[in-house]
Amino acid sequence: MWYMNDERQLILDAAREFVRTEVAPHALEVDRTSRFPVELFHRAGELGLLGLTIPEEFGGSGVDQTASALVLEEIATSMPVLTVAMGAHALLAGGLLQMLGTPEQKKTWLVPAASGEIILACGSTEAVGGDNQVEFATRAVLDGEEWVLNGGKVLISNIGVADMYVVVAVTADHVDPVTKAGLSAFIVPAGTAGLNVGAAEHKLGWHGSATGSIWFDAARIPKENLLGPEGGCLQAMFVSASAEFLSCGPVSLGIAEGAYRAALDYSTTRTQQGHTLFERFQVTRHKLARMYGEIESLRALVYSTYAERDRGELELARSRLLKIKGAEVSEYVGREAIQLFGGVGTIIDTGVERYWRDAKVMAIGGASVEALNDVVAGLIARGMA
Ligand SMILES: Cc1cc2nc3c(=O)[nH]c(=O)nc-3n(C[C@H](O)[C@H](O)[C@H](O)COP(=O)(O)OP(=O)(O)OC[C@H]3O[C@@H](n4cnc5c(N)ncnc54)[C@H](O)[C@@H]3O)c2cc1C
């Protein structure tokens, strides 16, 4: 592949071995039980796979973005939900720490996060306003040497297993509808009195990502736990969200590949009247050819976009396109894979339908594709895409 080099190949080989020997044996069990794969998470940290995008001075690997995409793609072929937990940890919460944290905050939280010693979560979405920050109702008020938090967040990944939550709250009378000034980020350690953590929701896909609500009843945290400037965390939120949208490209690519490989394997081994399904039915061959074509088109988009990112030339619309196109392709390939399996494709233990369920959540989690298309349309209108 044109985007490979020796360093990236080494990192990919390590990720491949991790997936083959440690991730794949647990993929079905995690999907069936919705158990957060905590040991795999820590192991990914030990192998340096959690801190790929974190600079070396803060315990990360400091490799380029393309290398991190290769790792995400590889893991997602087997256990997409692990990459989702990694994204909430390293890109959302870790990204805000990296951009807004003081050297002391980075030492305390980012360094152990990079090595997988601790798990991070990021709480932004709210029940009423969704991801529209102007309507956020979670508030933080300074009382002497402490911030007092009240309110709540919904649909937060890594709840319960997280050692620390980066939480976005309103610290002004209102959030400015244009500049969004008035929002601040906070470090809220697990176990803080007044921080309540709900049970993980039962979801369509991303089983095991421990998604649910957290809420604050006068939760008090030290003044120093403000992350970044008071009232001014929006730009960093925007950048960390963009990194997460970008990562949805290789994750979706991995999901599509996982489903495609399973379907190809099944179609070339299941026989009817002495012939495999692949040999017997032109429609089976054509479905697989189209799935392959969609995957390769997505691959071209993903790695050309990551190349732009590594050159520092990424345009705003591109990261959103990766999430939009990735969700579309992975949903399509996942759906067709079930169809090619026939009846057994609908059985959970077969292990193929989970790709389609995970792909469906890709179209919503983090931001809906409709909302992202709306942003892209706005960029087109302003001549920025
Ligand atoms: C599994 C999972 C994990 C998540 N993890 C986290 C997390 O770790 N941290 C966190 O803060 N949040 C998290 N979220 C929340 C996620 O970011 C939101 O669900 C997402 O942004 C959509 O917001 P909403 O659910 O409020 O939907 P709404 O905003 O209510 O939107 C509902 C629907 O309305 C339409 N719509 C909404 N806005 C627009 C628009 N601008 N243009 C066109 N159509 C629109 C779309 O069809 C959309 O699907 C997670 C969500 C899921 C499902």
The reply to whether the predicted model has a pTM over 0.85 is: yes
User: According to the model, what pLDDT value does residue 267 have?
Assistant: 98
The Å distance, Cα 268 to ligand 1 centre, comes to 39
User: According to the model, what pLDDT value does residue 231 have?
Assistant: 96
Spatial CA neighbour of 124 closest among 99, 96, 101: 96
CA dist., res. 45 & res. 36, Å (int): 15
As assigned by CATH, the class of the 120-231 domain is mainly beta
For the stretch 155-199, pLDDT in tens is 999 999 999 999 999 999 989 888 889 999 999 999 999 999 999
User: According to the model, what pLDDT value does residue 359 have?
Assistant: 98
User: According to the model, what pLDDT value does residue 369 have?
Assistant: 97
Nearest CA to ligand 1 atom 28: 130
The Å distance, Cα 130 to ligand 1 centre, comes to 6
Residue 13 CB–ligand 1 contact under 6 Å:
no
Query: What CATH topology corresponds to 235-381?
Result: Butyryl-CoA Dehydrogenase, subunit A; domain 3 (1.20.140)
The Å distance, Cα 132 to ligand 1 centre, comes to 9
Nearest CA to ligand 1 atom 39: 371
Q: What is the mean pLDDT of residues 42-62?
A: 91
Q: What is the mean pLDDT of residues 305-323?
A: 94
Spatial CA neighbour of 149 closest among 163, 165, 133, 128: 165
User: According to the model, what pLDDT value does residue 133 have?
Assistant: 86
6-114: CATH architecture: Orthogonal Bundle (1.10)
The Å distance, Cα 135 to ligand 1 centre, comes to 14
Q: Which pLDDT band holds residue 250 (cuts at 50, 70, 90)? A: very high
Q: Which pLDDT band holds residue 131 (cuts at 50, 70, 90)? A: confident
pLDDT at 101 > cutoff 90 = yes
Residue 95 CB–ligand 1 contact under 6 Å:
no
Spatial CA neighbour of 100 closest among 188, 186, 228: 228
The Å distance, Cα 362 to ligand 1 centre, comes to 11
Residue 279 CB–ligand 1 contact under 6 Å:
no
Nearest CA to ligand 1 atom 47: 370
For the stretch 326-355, pLDDT in tens is 999 999 999 999 999 999 999 999 999 999
The Å distance, Cα 45 to ligand 1 centre, comes to 28
User: According to the model, what pLDDT value does residue 120 have?
Assistant: 98
Residue from 188, 206, 368, 370 whose mutation best tests the ligand 1 pocket (most atoms within 8 A of CB)? 368
Domain boundaries of the chain, sorted by first residue = 6-114, 120-231, 235-381
Minimum-distance ligand 1 atom for the alpha carbon of 88: 8
For the stretch 25-51, pLDDT in tens is 999 999 999 999 999 999 999 999 998
Q: Which pLDDT band holds residue 130 (cuts at 50, 70, 90)? A: confident
pLDDT at 129 > cutoff 90 = no
User: According to the model, what pLDDT value does residue 132 have?
Assistant: 83
Got the DSSP string for 236-299? HHHHHHHHHHHHHHHHHHHHHHHHHHHHHHHHTT-EETTEEHHHH-HHHHHHHHHHHHHHHHHH
